Each structure stands twice: as C-alpha cells, then as structure tokens.
A = this chain, B = another copy of it.
C-alpha cells in the first residue's frame, strides 16, 4: 500500500531514517567509549527496541514498570526502570522482572531504597539500584555531592540492594532555549555525576555505572568516566529537537498523515488534533509556536488544535491542498503523539510494509 492510502490520521515511521538515527547514536556512543541504552518511552514498541539492540544498543531504559513488562515479554533481557518504585504491588512486579532479566531501578530517597530492600530480601533477591542525581532539572534527584553521599552511606549496607551507580537526566525543561547552551548543559550533566562519583569513591563506595540521559545532550557523547547514554527521542526526533538544534527535519522519522476535511479562505482544517498530535508546545528556540510542522508546506502553520481538528493558517503563497488531500505533520513531541496510537505504520520507500504495535502504550502503572 502507498503511504498516502492509509486511513487518516495515521502515525507513520520512515524506517530508513529511524535506522539511520539509531546507527548515528550508536556511533556517537562507540566513539565516546560508552554504552547506548535507549529510553524506549519514545516508541514503546518492542519491535523498535529490538531493532535498536540489533544495531548496537545495549539494554533499554523505561519509565514505567508496565513498559518494562511489555518489553521483557518480547524477550528483552536488560531493562533499567529509570523511576523510583513505590508500593508493595509495584515492588513485587519489579522483583518478578528482576528474577528473570537483568533489571535495575532508581531512587533519590532512603524510603524508596528501604522499600526495595525489604521486598527483595523477603524474596531472597538482590536489586540493582542507581541513585538519581539532579543535574539541574529539579525533578527527581538529589543535589550532586554531599546529599548523594549521605544517601549512599545509608543504603550501601541495606540487604537485598546493590548500589550500582549514579544516574541523571539533563532535562531541557527549564533551560536551553538556545542550541548554543547545549554543550554547557551536557558538561553540567556529566560533571554533576562525575564529581559526585569521585566523592563516593574517595569514601570507599564503588560506582560502577554513570548513566546520563536526554537526546539533545547525548550527541556530545558524555565525558570520560560516563558509562552509558540514555536518550529516547533520537529514534524519531521531532520539531522540538529541531528547534533545539539537535536534529534537522530530514532526521524526523515519525510523522502523522492527515486529511484536509474543510477549507476556507484563511484556513484549512485537518483530521488530526490534540488527541493524535498532543497539545505539547515546542521546546527550543527555532520554533516557539504552532503544534507541529507541515512537511513541504512552509506556508501552512498548525495554528490551533481541538481534540480532533487541526486548524492550519495560510501564512503565505503556495499550493493549497483541496478537501481530501493528505498532509504529513511532524509533531512537536513525537513521544506524546506515539502514545496516542495503538500501532505505527512502517514506511519503506514510500510504501507501508507493516505495522508495529505500541505495546507499552496504556501501561501507565
């Protein structure tokens, strides 16, 4: 089937671009001497995770236990749940995984570590635990240095727990509105962990892993001493990544195919809205408005989204699509758009060659 014959709105993945994105990031990691552990929250497809692994990635990271379970069910055997696991049921599920595959999870508190310890001990297991360092995002994570040391001192001897190292997420939420800031943020992300690791080692605590995250910083390859990169969005890229200077539109492997359903002098309406593209605003500085970019139509701006309508404003000269014509939209945030679909169409040389189930979607707990 030609890709333009798919019923819309339809999420499309350009397989060649996706694989090129993965190969390039594998090469970044190889040159830096670190492992690439893709965060699979972007695609949530075991099929894509397996492609990433076949191209050189080593293990995956997820945010949700349910996603880890879906990935493990598909045969993936090295999964970092980069999230604090809280509550008896979730601890039990994590330990079920831990019994079958190489698993790890994260914490920034004694409470979470103690919960894992007692659950693991009761089952005669040892759980690998990374401590999350806040390298500037102010989300989960302890400040670098003494605060981390204080926690590691308390958890190092907990039964059932193996302190496996440090993890940070150099998130872009509150800074980096300019691509020029990215190298500085990448250094900051790495230094927060490396300085802390040095402090820990001086105090006699081995630090095996130092894992840094996030796509816009990953291409700098970490720094000597970092052991793994954990980017997610790089598999598809999106308007936000282009806007941050971390990719070009030619790298964007995920688009939403839509149909024009209404046409007026000043606007077109397409059959994609916030329930298929999401209402996420763009990050970065190049694109600061709009809800996606229309491929090959620079004179159309995705101005407004309702739940199932997108309103495109006509901002310049150019051919105007007719009712029934198809348009491809690159979303602001691919991870959010993917999460609104049950499966993704695989496109090779302009033809749909299959589909990938978004098995991790809806696995919210």
A138, CB-defined interface residue at 8 Å: yes
Q: Indicate whether A324 reaches chain B with its CB closer than 8 angstroms.
A: yes
The complex is assembled from copies of this chain, and their number is 2
| Interchain CB contact under 8 A, B324 and A263 | no
Contact partner of A335 (CB less than 8 A), chosen from B115, B271, B307, is B307
Do A90 and B7 touch (CB < 8 A)?
yes
Question: A324-365 toward B: CB 8 Å interface, digit per residue (1/0)?
Answer: 100000000001100111100000000000000000001011
Taking the closest CB of chain B, its distance from the CB of A138, in whole angstroms, is 7
- Whether A24 sits at the interface, judged by CB under 8 Å, is no
Asked whether A309 is an interface residue with its Cβ less than 8 Å from the other chain, the reply is: yes
Given contacts A140-B309, A278-B279, are A341 and B362 in contact (CB under 8 A)? Answer: yes
A181 close to B (CB within 8 Å):
no
Q: Which of A41, A263, A274, A281 has the most CB of B within 10 A?
A: A274
With A276-B364, A279-B278, A341-B362 as contacts: A261 and B308 at CB distance below 8 Å: no
Residues of B within 8 A of A140 (CB): 261-262, 269, 309
The reply to whether B307 and A7 form a contact with Cβ atoms under 8 Å apart is: no
Given contacts A275-B336, A309-B139, A342-B362, contact A173 B7 (CB under 8 A): no
Pairwise interchain contact A86-B311, C-beta atoms closer than 8 A: no
Chain A's interface: helix, strand, loop or mixed, by majority? loop
Q: Once the chains bind, are A308 and B63 in contact (CB under 8 Å)?
A: yes
- Provide the bound-state CA to CA distance between A63 and B64, in Å: 31
Which chain B residues lie closer than 8 Å to A275 at the CB level? Answer: 336, 339, 364
Q: What is the CA–CA distance of A278 and B277 in the complex, to the nearest angstrom?
A: 12
Q: Which residues of B sit under 8 angstroms from A320, Cβ to Cβ?
A: none
List the one stretch of A104-112, A117-125, A159-167 in contact with chain B: A104-112
How many angstroms between the C-alpha atoms of A362 and B344 in the bound complex? 12
Q: Do B306 and A139 have beta carbons less than 8 Å apart?
A: yes
Chain B CB within 8 A of A211 CB: no
Q: Which residue of B lies closest to A108 (CB)?
A: B262
3 shortest interchain CB distances as A-B pairs = A63-B308, A84-B261, A111-B323
Using A112-B323, A139-B304, A275-B336 as known contacts, list a sample of 16 further A-B pairs with CB atoms less than 8 Å apart, ordered by residue number in A: A84-B261, A84-B262, A87-B324, A111-B322, A138-B311, A139-B262, A140-B262, A140-B269, A140-B309, A141-B262, A173-B304, A173-B306, A278-B278, A279-B281, A339-B340, A340-B364
